[in-house]
Amino acid sequence: MAMATTPHSLLLQNPTQPHHQLPKTSIFKPFNAFSRFTIPNRRISISCAATSTQIQDRPPLPAHSQERLFNFAAGPAILPENVLLKAQSELYNYRGSGMSVMEMSHRGKEFLSIIQKAESDLRTLLEIPDEYAVLFLQGGATTQFAAIPLNLCSPSDPVDFLVTGSWGDKAIKEAKKYCNPNLIWSGKSEKYTKIPTFEGLEQNPDAKYLHICANETIHGVEFKNYPTPQNSTGILVADMSSNFCSKPVDVSKFGVIYAGAQKNVGPSGVTIVIIRKDLIGNAQEQTPVMLDYKIHAENNSLYNTPPCYGIYMCGLVFEDLLEQGGLKEVEKKNQKKAEILYNAIDESNGFFRCPVEKSVRSLMNVPFTLEKSELEGEFVKEAAKEKMVQLKGHRSVGGMRASIYNAMPLAGVEKLVAFMKDFQAKHA
């Protein structure tokens, strides 16, 4: 229904039409808000004589419209354009419900259907086994840094941490309040550019779990496979905030996977926890009720009011990932994007440099520096003029960083690579 059959007439989207029938790229969706002016049949016919071809002959929605920036921010980060357009079209009146998702009671049937579908789609995407609970929480990974030990340990319990960047470091610091964490390896002395071989790691057999950060957002270091916990529980816990849903993951290898949504799957304000159900129910007495997984699991993430709109947005992203063919397809696209960017760096004869060891380079966050570091400011500024923004590296490491999450189109990376080559030619 992208165009009505009568030339020059605009058929407005009927808000009662089921969502799945909507063409994702229909440019008519944002008209939805006006349909209240088109009683009774939601149709406005505009017979046009003069310049109507500007509308009639418009091109199909481009993969990335001219108006839009290529946003390389590390998070909150770029979201799929079609997801944003869909969200816009139904912000004022969600699918004929007469209200915005933001106005819905979290216990009403409309929102229950949203959160249940989001969970169901996520389960499909990651093939999450039934013995795992999926929780939609608040407070970011930083809140989980406390919640994990509070739920999985008593205060004297040992826990092993393998620290490959700033986020793992923050996690162990917070864990010290609630358990007895042990740093079994740190990449700090090598500026977090490596991941060790797992064989040589000395794990504590009494550790309650082994904690890793699967992808270090700031340092661009990503686990390509995972260590096997050499402790009595066999529990591996992973912060996957910045590579969540970027590739298939064997969930059954983990006790807990947690992720802030604001990188690959939604806006900030939603934290997703996937936890093996038998690990739930032993929180320390001092645990705030909002950090107790049992409370959230028993109430299907509705103990108190959840971040409803953020969960809705995550649901739209999950739908989009499924429509792309699932995480195997998504991973291929991410590999392609990362490949051309790392190649551009490696083939620059040292003009650009990525400090991270090749075998563990992140598909999501690509940090790089300039041999002539005095040009880095100009690089960032000139890129911004070309509508490529947020390329400045994290303040703790400097240089540049291109975050190329799921929603970054290949065209964005290609444009960046072309810009890099131009920049090099200009300054070599």
Report the site for a copy of itself in 77-106 (rule: CB under 8 A). Answer: 77-79, 84-85, 87-88, 91-93, 97-100, 102-106
Q: Choose between 3 and 201: whose C-beta lies nearer to a copy of itself.
A: 3
Q: How far is the CB of 102 from a copy of itself (least distance, A)?
A: 4
Does position 15 interact with a copy of itself (CB under 8 A)? The reply is: yes
Does position 291 interact with a copy of itself (CB under 8 A)? The reply is: yes
Question: H/E/C letters for each residue in 249-308?
Answer: CCHHHCCEEEEECCCCCCCCCCEEEEEEHHHCCCCCCCCCHHHCHHHHHHCCCCCCCCCH
Between the two ends of the chain, the Cα-to-Cα distance in Å is 53
Site residues for a copy of itself, window 371-390 (CB under 8 A)?
A: 387, 389-390
Q: Decide: 76 and 63 in contact? Cβ < 8 Å.
A: no
Q: Decide: 263 and 244 in contact? Cβ < 8 Å.
A: yes
Which residue spans within 130-206 are E strands per DSSP?
132-137, 158-163, 180-186
Q: Choose between 32 and 193: whose C-beta lies nearer to a copy of itself.
A: 32
Q: How far is the CB of 331 from a copy of itself (least distance, A)?
A: 22
Does position 404 interact with a copy of itself (CB under 8 A)? The reply is: no
Q: How far is the CB of 74 from a copy of itself (least distance, A)?
A: 7
Q: Choose between 92 and 198: whose C-beta lies nearer to a copy of itself.
A: 92
| CA gap 142, 412 in Å, rounded | 30
Site residues for a copy of itself, window 316-355 (CB under 8 A)?
A: none
| CA gap 134, 119 in Å, rounded | 7
Does position 74 interact with a copy of itself (CB under 8 A)? The reply is: yes
Question: How many residues of this chain interact with a copy of itself, rule: CB under 8 A?
Answer: 92
Residue at token pair 């109507």:
52
Site residues for a copy of itself, window 299-318 (CB under 8 A)?
A: 303-310, 313
| CA gap 34, 162 in Å, rounded | 54
Site residues for a copy of itself, window 134-153 (CB under 8 A)?
A: 138-143, 145-147
| Residue 167 designated active-site | yes
Site residues for a copy of itself, window 234-263 (CB under 8 A)?
A: 260, 262
Among 5, 18, 21, 49, binds a copy of itself (CB under 8 A): 49
Q: Which residues of 166-182 are buried (b: 16+ CB within 10 A; e: fewer)?
A: bbbbbbbebbeebbbbb
- Residues designated catalytic: 167, 239, 263
